[in-house]
Amino acid sequence: MGERSTEQFDPQAVKLQQGNVLDNSEYWVRAASPQEPASFRDRIRERLAGGQTTPEVINVNRPLVTDQVAIGDPVVNGKLTLRYGEPDFDRKLAANPNYQQLSIQGIPEGVKVKHFVDAKGYFFWLDGSGEMEQIRGGDGTTSQRPRRHYYSIQAKEIEMNTAVRDLEATRLKVNEALAAEGGFKGFSNFKPNQQVDFQAPGGQRVVAGDAMNYFLRMSKTSASILDVQAKSLEESVKTSDNPYFKIYLADVYTAQAMKPIIDQVLNGGRYIELNNPYTMKKFEDAISLLKSVDSDSRTGLQRVNRTPPGNAVMPMDPYRIYGDPRDPRFPEYYYGFWGGSYDQAKHRELAITFMRNLAKNNAFPRIELP
């Protein structure tokens, strides 16, 4: 982080809390799993562009190393090892992104590694280290925040002295925390069976599941937070075969699809035209993601000859990372992981398809949105 950024400052970025609970205090189970089909990753990669602006870093409280001083490739056999307090800490993080494991050694007692995300990507900070960076806002004012260390999206694990944690699970947790801060209380609040009525002009009633209400609430999140989540989840979908990243991204796309409509309603409109190219494209992208999860989950469940129960919706279970059907300790982890992703994706797909079809049939403009 020795360079000065040329990006403009988003005043909201500094107000985001840095995930106080995200300290890698939990362990997650991971077993080997095949790579995600390349075709979908390629589609997401083509969509990645832009992103929200971030603060300009103008000073940090440790000596900086000039970019003229060369450093060797710090990645050895897929592992990047850093020493706590070393002056080239961030330069080594940025020198070569092709590491699967990140190791931080020499962390003093009382210092915790905590995680969050912003428009630049996923980062951690060393809580208790006293590391701070000064940032300048677009209005010329300055403030301080804990120093952010951005790491590669390809990293799967982080080793802190001797403790090892799963970084993909951490990234899921980060996005859940950002969703909760955004005001819609997080992705786990999707409840497909609860009914909500919408009153149409002339007394006609249109009945939808609670999914509609969920996405309406979610679409009231600020555009900047939705953009951060979309970008960070797109990056995660590219590099992970965990289907819950796709489920979360589909939710964000749907919220983005609804947001222009909700914004017009909140600004005084009553009957809003929903059938616009931006909204329809976001709906289609969300449905495509969920169809992919459907396929992946069916494959996972077929390995153990199981199917989700037909009389209940299995909850999301994103932290039993794949489990292992061959290990007697983990079969239910495996079933819960893939059964949960299958059920949650399937019900979301039905709800979003319903909403997309309302738009295609010009039904939404006749509904008085709350």
Where are the chain's structural domains? 11-166, 174-366
Nearest to 345 by CA among 304, 300, 303, 279: 300
Write the burial class of residue 226 (CB in 10 Å: 0-12 exposed, 13-18 middle, 19+ buried).
Answer: buried
CB atoms within 10 A of CB 72: 8
The enclosing H or E element of 199 equals: strand 195-199
pLDDT at 201: 41
Report residue 319: phi and psi, to 5°: -100, -5
pTM for the complete prediction? Answer: 0.78
Q: Which residues pair with 60 in a beta bridge?
A: 133
CB atoms within 10 A of CB 142: 12
The set of residues, in sequence order, having a beta carbon less than 8 Å from that of 67 and lying 6+ positions away, is 2, 3
Asked if the model's pLDDT at residue 22 lies above 60, the reply is no
* C-alpha span between 47 and 237 (Å, rounded): 12
* C-alpha span between 75 and 96 (Å, rounded): 7
Tens digit of pLDDT for each residue in 326-356? 666 666 788 889 999 999 999 899 889 988 8
Decide which of 55 and 147 is more confident: 147
* C-alpha span between 237 and 226 (Å, rounded): 16
Write the burial class of residue 310 (CB in 10 Å: 0-12 exposed, 13-18 middle, 19+ buried).
Answer: exposed
pLDDT at 137: 79
pLDDT at 213: 74
Nearest to 165 by CA among 154, 150, 155, 175: 155
* C-alpha span between 26 and 29 (Å, rounded): 10
130: left (phi > 0), else alpha (psi -120 to 50), else beta? left
Report residue 59: phi and psi, to 5°: -165, 145
* C-alpha span between 103 and 23 (Å, rounded): 15
pLDDT at 232: 96
* C-alpha span between 256 and 312 (Å, rounded): 29
pLDDT at 192: 66
Report residue 6: phi and psi, to 5°: -95, 0
Nearest to 136 by CA among 267, 43, 1, 7: 7
Tens digit of pLDDT for each residue in 33-78? 333 333 334 443 444 433 333 444 444 444 344 444 678 899 999 9
pLDDT at 288: 97
DSSP string for residues in 68-104: TS-----EETTEEEEETT-TTHHHHHHH----SEEEE
Nearest to 113 by CA among 62, 122, 104, 121: 104
The size of the chain, in residues, is 370
pLDDT at 270: 58
The two tokens of residue 165 are 């944690």
Percent over 90 (pLDDT), the chain? 43
Nearest to 116 by CA among 16, 41, 34: 16
The set of residues, in sequence order, having a beta carbon less than 8 Å from that of 311 and lying 6+ positions away, is none
Binned at pLDDT 50, 70 and 90, residue 266 comes out as low
Helix (H, G, I), strand (E, B) or coil at 184: helix
The two tokens of residue 299 are 């494959």
* C-alpha span between 212 and 218 (Å, rounded): 10
Amino acid at 305: N
**Mean pLDDT computed over 257-277:** 73
